[in-house]
Each structure stands twice: as C-alpha cells, then as structure tokens.
Amino acid sequence: MPGSTSTSLSLQLNDRSLSEVKTWPLHALLPNSKDQTLTIYRVFFYMKKIINSYSEVVVQIATPYSTGTGFYLKKYNLIVTNEHVVRDNRNVIVKVNGLKKQLSRVLYLDPTHDLAFLEMPTHSEEISTSINLAAGNEVHPGDSVVAIGHPFGLKYAATQGIISNVMYQSGNLNYYQHDAALNPGNSGGPLVNMAGEVIGVNTFIIENGDNVGFSLPVQYLQTALDEFAASGRRVGVRCHSCSNLVFEDTAQQGYCAHCGAKVVLPNQVEAYEATGIAKTIEDMLANAGHDVELSRRGPNNWEIQEGSARVNVLYYEETGLITGDAYLCMLPKENIQPLYEFLLRQNYQTESLTFSVRGQDVIISLLIYDRYFNIETGTKLFSYLFEKADEYDNILVEQYGAIWKSEED
C-alpha cells in the first residue's frame, strides 16, 4: 500500500491520505489491506475509476427492433455486442459518449456465441480510452464484478455483483453466472473484473430470476476476434451448424461451403422497411427534415433532436395512441413560481400542446390517435411541436432561469 504500513483497525484517513488514495493506480486500489477503513476507501475509489474509465467506450445501440449495449475495443477498432441485439440489420445506430449518433455497419455475426462486431464510425480517434480483455486470467466463484450498459434505454448504468458459477452450461457453451443486475438493454455490454478488465459479454438473464445473469466468457470473444482479424476483417458470419467462418467469396449461393447449411451474411440482410402507422410516422419525420434511420430507437419508438430539445415519438399499437414528448430544460433552483405560472398560461394558449413537469424535467407533449393520423396532419402537428419545443426551451432558460439539459441527459 502506498504511503503506509499500518494495520490498525482504528486508522482513520485524514484529508491528505484521502487525496493520495484518489491518485493511486487501479492495481494499488485492490482491497487487500487488513485495515477495514482503508479497504472501504480503496473499494470506493476503485469502483469509481472503473465506471469512469468505461464511460467513453460503452456504446448505446438502437435498431428498429430493439436496443442494447456494445463496447469499443480500440486495439481492434471494433464495437463488440450480442448477435441478437443487431440481428436482421445491416446497419445499426450507435451512440458513444461525447460523439453524435451515427450509423454503424454490421461486419460479423456469430449466432453460435451470440457475438457481433460493428464497424466503428468516424471520429474514433477522439476516443482515448483503451480497455483490456482479461484473456488468460482465471475467474473464480466469489470474485467481484461490474456489469456496465444501457438498460431500459438509459444513457449509462453500472451494477456490482459476484460470480457464483464459472461453469454454467447452455448448449455447448459455458457461461459465468453472477448477480450483477442485468436488465433489458444490458445485452452486449461488458462484464468487468476488479482489475478493470473485460472478463465477459453480458448475454442473457433468467426470466423472473432475482438478479441471475449470464455472461459469455472473454475466451470465446478473443477467439472470434483472432479469427476475424486473420480473415482480413472481411464481412462474414459463423455458420450455426459447423462453426466455420463464411464470407462472400466462400459462400456457395447462400450456403456454407463446409456443411451446406443456409447462411446469411450481414450485408445480405433484407433492409428494414416500416409498415402501417410506423411508416406514416417515418414519412412524416422525413417530411419534417429529419434523418429517419438515425431517429429509430426500438419498436415504434423514435428520438429527434430539435435544436436544444429532445423529442421522443412513440406509437402504442394496442391503444392507437401516438405521443410526442419534447424534453426541454430543467427547473431552476430558485424562484420557480414564475416559471410554473408561465407554463399554466401557455397550456391555455398553445394549440394542441400540453406542458407538464416530471421530476426536474419540463416537457411539452402532443397526443393524437392513429385514426386521425396521416402524413399531412402528422407533418403539420409534429413540425409545430418541434418548432415550439426549441422556442420554449430558449424562453424558459433565458427569461425564467431554467437550466439547460446536456445532450447526454
């Protein structure tokens, strides 16, 4: 331990000691001290360093069918995720902390191991963080781990747990079983050990289980990365039958040359096309000047950035309700009453739109039923929402002291 050899249980850290702990490298923060107070501080700052270091490389992924997580490996210049997260898509939307949403091409699919590799979009040079795979390091029951991802569409979340089983078998594969909470949207994110290394890819949970999650051990990932690199990084797929890699020049009219099984390469996936009301909504968004592909956030869900306002558009098929919720600024710390009075007045004066406050967020909303919805009416109503959202965001901040929301909020 840097700077001390004491083993006294009563040792308390003064301000100087605490400051020193904050600057220690990760290996020096491992909780191996016999001093309980110092161990608590070590674990606290260690966990904080892990979570902060991964914030730049854990990627939010969205498709017309689902949302999930991936993580960027700088060494390979690839985004790793689960195959089931990007299934049936040639391109997916990725959002990396500090970079704008971009489309990413699917390069490799591996249904056997539920792995996929995505092309890192432009500006990858701006990502300075390089995370390591823990290949060769043993994992034992009782080891502490952290699961990192984007559950429920949240921007970033981390949960801590312990390994309970290192040999859980499903099919012909072994998985790590742990109790770090995994939720919908966590799929494809990294499972990290106490050395800050990736030991697995979060893959699935047991339905109705109490924090029972499973992660694919990193050894499978390392093998796939090595094989993909040896192929010259060609677009390919692992045959689900014989496990050989298949590429455009080796596939035989859509079949594996090794065993004859049917295979579909990522660039041969049929492009997604919306239908019904979802298509009408996408046509409306296009008419309003927005990029439809970059707007998709799962089934019947779209996100639009209009100036400083973020607008979520949802279609509820069961009820026929279409909603547009524009998240504006946050309430000011002081002198809130004038802002509330302004919002109440606007609720009487603003056509078709309603103001509300949820927590600290100021929201302006539009509601319409699908029976009254067509491209013409939709374009008119939502263009009005987009325009007013950006306009009111500026008014609330500049005239009533509200607080801007950052793009990452």
Domain boundaries in the chain? Answer: 15-54, 144-218, 276-400
What's the pLDDT score for residue 221? 96
Element (H, E) at 223: helix 218-230
* Distance (Å, whole) CA 321 – CA 146: 39
Residue 202 DSSP label: E
The answer to whether the CB of 110 falls within 8 A of the CB of 224 is: yes
What's the pLDDT score for residue 308? 86
What's the whole-model pTM score? 0.84
Taking CA atoms, 159 is separated from 150, 176, 394, in Å, by 11, 16, 36
Q: Are strands 245-247 and 115-119 parallel, antiparallel or unpaired?
A: unpaired
Q: Are strands 236-238 and 102-110 parallel, antiparallel or unpaired?
A: parallel
Question: How many CB atoms within 10 Å of residue 135?
Answer: 16
Gyration radius (Cα) of the chain, Å? 25
Secondary-structure class of domain 276-400 per CATH: alpha beta
Rounded-to-10 torsion of CA 46, 48, 50, 56: -160
What's the pLDDT score for residue 314? 97
What's the pLDDT score for residue 290? 93
Between 3.40.50.740, 3.90.75.20, 2.40.10.10, 2.60.40.10, what CATH number should domain 144-218 receive? 2.40.10.10
Mean pLDDT of successive 10-residue stretches along the chain, which has 409 residues? 34 40 47 50 68 88 93 94 95 88 94 95 78 84 90 78 90 90 87 91 77 91 95 93 92 91 93 93 94 93 91 96 96 94 92 92 95 91 94 95 78
What's the pLDDT score for residue 154? 67
What's the pLDDT score for residue 44? 62
Rounded-to-10 torsion of CA 348, 354, 355, 361: 180
What's the pLDDT score for residue 241? 93
Please measure the distance between the N-terminal and C-terminal CA atoms of the chain and give it in whole angstroms: 38
* Distance (Å, whole) CA 139 – CA 144: 10
Residue 183 DSSP label: -
What's the pLDDT score for residue 13? 36
Longest dimension (CA), the chain: 75
